[in-house]
Amino acid sequence: MITKNKFGAIMLFLAFHFLTISALMSQKINSKTLQLEELTIAQLQQGYANKSFTIKEVVKAYLERINSIDKNGPQLHSIIITNPDALKIAEALDRQMQSGVTLSPLFGVPVLLKDNIDTHDRMPNTAGSRALMHSFPLADSYVAKRLREAGAIILGKTNLSEWANFRGHLSTSGWSGVGGQTKNPYELSRNPCGSSSGSAVAVSASLCMIAIGTETNGSIVCPSHSNGIVGIKPTVGLISRSGVIPISYTQDTSGPMARTLTDAVIGLGVLTGIDTADAKTLESNGKFVSDYTPFLKKRSLTGKRIGLYKAPYGINYKVDTLMNEAVAFIKSQGAEVIEIEKIEEPEVENLSFEIMLMEYKDGLNKYFQSLGQNAVIKNLEELITFNKKDTIELAYFNQLYLEMALTKPTIDSEIYKETLAKMMEGSRKNGIDKVMDDNKLDAIMAPTGTPAWKTDLINGDSFHFGTSSPTAHAGYPNISLPMGFIDGMPVGISFFGRAWSEPLLIEIAYSYEQGTKHRKAPTYRE
């Protein structure tokens, strides 16, 4: 539902971007030569306003680009399925636009969803697993519903690390039994990171305008970093998880991924809201807004106190060099940088792992129940049995985490409650909140990770470090955006902080993005 205030905010947003579009346009767009590479939402909306092209023409062009780049050409394998009704939906939106009704900045915008997010249409929701190849949800997820209400076109579903990379040992990010191995568009032999691999690759390769990923620990920010895009991992509860195949009730969240922070922020506002089907969203009451674009302020670093997380230093000197350049820029804009050595106690990592396993069994079984009597898989035991019989599923790595989850105590047990309480205290009260309070910080920054490694289906992933865990454990927000390149491979910087601090993080990240402009389109090197 569009409220009067929300409608007014949207109209002001569109008016502003239409007035400033000449500064944003990097190429001429017309119906004969529709250039999709690096296209922004503002440019797309201006094209619609100018009648340079229709929504159907845009959707058709994206589908053709997917076919030429993802299915043929470099064969990125970032998309599992395209929406068979996309063109029909586009035609209906064109008719609506002709009548003068366009109530959202996402109206007519092609969006891809990670294939663990329910859509009630002719696309299954698989989590990348062959066990769910014929599993059709009975309703839209909250995320899909919000996108449809905004007039976005769900263009298809993206490949992912199977079961969001929580199935077993020696897994390879970006591989699933359904979609195969997703490739990094900067260098095809390198890994895209995961688990929102396909979402990040599709965005980077301009196969959609924005994509929606999910994160339990690193699954939005790491693929965003490895594929040279922006990813927003919000506070848990800002976006509903209903209709998303779960791992952890405590840590799971969806989030927007885009080539620019502006486009990601537009997507974020559309997805927020209270959903009675997800109790976590009740905590966002009074803390969320439906339009985060007013926080896109170019010169907002002056006077900010930003913590520099030093633990990653010394692991990769090339990353250190980029991070030092980022620190120098941030200081030049008037911010004070305070070095911090640690954020949380090491025991929090193990506590989180135990919580994930205990919540995994409960969450998966509830999800399978939501599929009704015709569910192809009815419980965790059936899934494990299916994998053992399938010829592909266990070819490269095992299903140890599924098997471990099966043996864990329930979420009603005292051991679960005690473990959760310890993790929350260690990650929040004695973790991020304490570090920020003690140092009077507005945010913390760190390199998101090291450059993408060579994909290896035999030995699995071989990344050197990632900095997603503190915010993942606490359920706090994290924004990753391009920081530069190492030997042609993108590297990201993360800005993170307290619960519900998205507005402040957006200000800081936008100032950095606009002052550095590190994003470059991929070149698909062999």
Written as six digits, the tokens of 274 are: 């209270």
State both tokens at 505: 């993080």
Beta bridge partners of 312: none
Structure-token match 């043996």, residue found: 407
3-state secondary structure of 114: strand
What does the DSSP assignment read for 145-202?
Answer: HHHHHTT-EEEEEE--SHHHH-S-TT--TTEETTTEE---SSBTTB---SSSHHHHHH
Catalytic position from the list 129, 176, 219, 248: 219
Closest alpha carbon to 465 in 349, 325, 315: 315
Catalytic residue of the set 56, 78, 104, 114: 114
Residues facing 212 on adjacent strands: 113, 256
195 annotated active-site: yes
How would you classify residue 243: left for phi > 0, otherwise alpha for psi between -120 and 50, otherwise beta? left
Token couple for 464 = 């050197």
Rounded to whole angstroms, the Cα distance separating 381 from 398 reads: 15
Exposed/middle/buried for residue 434 (C-beta within 10 Å: 0-12, 13-18, 19+): middle
What is the C-alpha separation between 521 and 526, in angstroms, rounded? 15
Q: Are 257 and 225 in contact (CB under 8 A)?
A: no
Largest distance between two CA atoms of the chain: 64
d(CA 521, CA 205): 7
Give me the catalytic one of 141, 195, 284, 468. 195
| Rounded distance between C-alpha atoms, residue 250 and residue 420, angstroms | 9
**Residues with active-site annotation:** 114, 195, 219
